[in-house]
Amino acid sequence: MHIVIVGLSHKTAPVEVREKLAFAPTAMERPLRLMLELAPVAEGLIVSTCNRVELCAATKEPEAAMAALRRFLAEYHEISTEEINSNLYSYQGEEAIRHLFRVASSLDSMVLGEPQILGQIKTAYGYAAEFKTAGLILNRFLHKAFSVAKRVRTETAIASNAVSVSFAAVELARKIFDRLDNKAVMIIGAGEMCELAARHFVTNGVSKVLVTNRTFERAEKLAAEFNGKAIPFEYFVEHLAEVDIVMTSTGAPNFILGQRQMEEVLKRRKNRPMFLIDIAVPRDIDPKVNSLDNAYLYDVDDLQGVVQANLKERQKEAGKAEAIVEQEIGQFYQWLGNLEVKPTIIALRRKLEEIRQQELDKTFGNLKDLTDSQRRSIEAMAGAIINKVLHQPTAILKRTQNDTSGEDYVDAVRTLFDLPGPTGDDKEIKPLDDTDQE
């Protein structure tokens, strides 16, 4: 049995193509069933996100299956094959395994290390399991991919640093304050960006939110969203000493907060540190404020810089992640190879032969005065028992090797008789509950 993948991603196709080839997440049953009807496809799975579409199948005829999947993708979306051919990639065997492991570990993502892709693949697998289009091979394959992704996440720092501006702000705040749960935020100017960052702060524990805006109604509206308090714009400086984090995004042409005012505020706070985030252009806060002790001022460019640095840090970790993927490919590939019938029968026979030899040696050790002909007949009897025992299992393995259930028998025999080779670990089917969030 082979694994093949046909697909496209943000690396091979622009969004105009990707959106045409996407599968609606609410109606996965039909495409999955149609995919399974393709002659060479034994098991099937469809991953469809805004950045990629992956058709993954288990098959006995990889070349035919890849061609069929390409046609299927085009026909299903009513596009000519030629139109999308240049956007598609197809992988088989080891390459297909590597591809899915890398995708699941977020090594192929647009934002390296972003956590959503794993959840999306889990959902895709959920559908394939629900509609029974995934069998033994894809079950193992996907669970292996999940465990590889998990290893990558725990053993490397690929996902540990924020790569969006608003998350970077939260992360920086943690480097200053450690815990955010007893901290207060002031939002100056009810812009969209501020709102997003404020939401991140609130989900990360910030308990008190003050909002101020030139139009008081907007401040009130936003404050209500966060269970916060609106403050008239004229008085916001007086409330600054109460808050630890300040976010500004007003359209003011000049600085609304200067060094002198901040000096005063810090004194009133007994020098407790303040984190000021100025995402307005032109800037709202005098950059000289950053030179004050215990005040940390970041503007948009600074936050972008942090994001870039974090991305670089992630790239460094990607090498380690690739090494983990390579390690796991070998193991899984070997398991897949072991599902072949012939080597399994040979291994089974060898195993029983070994047992026969051991037991004969033991018996002959105890019965020293047997004649040669007696020994031969005992040996023959043991051989006959093995042949009789093996007859039925061998026949079934041979008969079913072209059915979809063939691999199940091979796998069962390998497990029952403890035949050498990896048994394709991670058998336990974990509930699909790890909803990852950055």
Partner 1 sequence: MTANVLLFKITLLTYFAATIFYLIGVISRKESVRLAAVWLLSGGFVLHCSTLVARWFATGITPVASLYESLSFFAWALVGIYLIFYLRYRTIMLGAFITPLALVLMIIGSAAPKQAPALNPMLDSWWFPVHVTLAFLGHAVFAIAAAAGIMYLLQERMLKSKKFSGLFYRLPSLDTLDSMNYKCLTFGFPLMTMGIISGAIWANSAWGGYWRWDPKETWALISWFLYAALLHGRLTVGWRGRRAAIFAIIGFAFLLFTFFGVNLFLSGEHSFRNFTGQ
Residue of 178, 361, 428, 433 interacting with partner 1 (CB under 8 A): 178
Closest CB to partner 1 among 211 and 266? 266
Told to check if 429 binds partner 1 by CB under 8 A, we report no
Closest CB to partner 1 among 72 and 177? 177
DSSP sequence for 94-158: HHHHHHHHHHHTTSSSSSTT-SHHHHHHHHHHHHHHHTT---HHHHHHHHHHHHHHHHHHHHS-T
Closest CB to partner 1 among 20 and 320? 320
Collapsed DSSP state (helix, strand, coil) of residue 298: strand
- State the number of CA atoms in the 13 A half-sphere of 135 facing the CB: 19
Rounded to an integer, what distance in angstroms lies between the CA atom of residue 266 and that of residue 57?
A: 62
Told to check if 306 binds partner 1 by CB under 8 A, we report yes
Rounded to an integer, what distance in angstroms lies between the CA atom of residue 287 and that of residue 71?
A: 59
Q: Using alpha carbons only, what angle is made at residue 139 by residues 136 and 141, rounded to the nearest 5 degrees?
A: 105
Binding segment (CB under 8 A) for partner 1, from list 61-69, 193-201, 206-214, 306-314:
306-314
CB of 173 to partner 1, least distance (A): 9
Told to check if 177 binds partner 1 by CB under 8 A, we report yes
User: Distance from CA of residue 74 to its chain's centroid?
Assistant: 27
Told to check if 327 binds partner 1 by CB under 8 A, we report no
Collapsed DSSP state (helix, strand, coil) of residue 402: coil
Contact 40, 72 (CB under 8 A): no
CB of 172 to partner 1, least distance (A): 7
Rounded to an integer, what distance in angstroms lies between the CA atom of residue 35 and that of residue 69?
A: 8
CB of 254 to partner 1, least distance (A): 24
- Count of residues binding partner 1 (CB under 8 A)? 26
Residue of 251, 305, 337, 420 interacting with partner 1 (CB under 8 A): 305
| 3-state percent breakdown (helix, strand, coil) of the chain, nearest 5 | 55, 15, 30
CB of 272 to partner 1, least distance (A): 7
At position 267, the amino acid (one-letter code) is K
Closest CB to partner 1 among 100 and 306? 306
* Residues 351-410, interacting with partner 1 (CB under 8 A): none
Active-site residue list? 50
Q: Show Cβ contacts of residue 316 under 8 Å, excluding neighbours closer than 6 positions.
A: none
* Residues 22-61, interacting with partner 1 (CB under 8 A): none
Closest CB to partner 1 among 294 and 374? 294
DSSP sequence for 31-59: HHHHHHHSTTEEEEEEEE-SSEEEEEEEE
Which helix (H) or strand (E) covers residue 7, if one does? Answer: strand 2-9
Residue of 236, 298, 335, 409 interacting with partner 1 (CB under 8 A): 298
Kindly state the tokens that stand for 207: 């308990």
Closest CB to partner 1 among 123 and 290? 290
Kindly state the tokens that stand for 93: 């065997």
Binding segment (CB under 8 A) for partner 1, from list 15-23, 29-37, 66-74, 168-176:
168-176
* Residues 108-167, interacting with partner 1 (CB under 8 A): 156-157, 160-161
* Residues 257-296, interacting with partner 1 (CB under 8 A): 269-273, 290, 293-294, 296
Rounded to an integer, what distance in angstroms lies between the CA atom of residue 323 and that of residue 105?
A: 12
CB of 305 to partner 1, least distance (A): 6
Residue of 176, 237, 241, 396 interacting with partner 1 (CB under 8 A): 176
Closest CB to partner 1 among 279 and 345? 279
Residues that bind partner 1 (CB under 8 A): 156-157, 160-161, 172, 174-179, 269-273, 290, 293-294, 296, 298, 302, 305-306, 309, 313
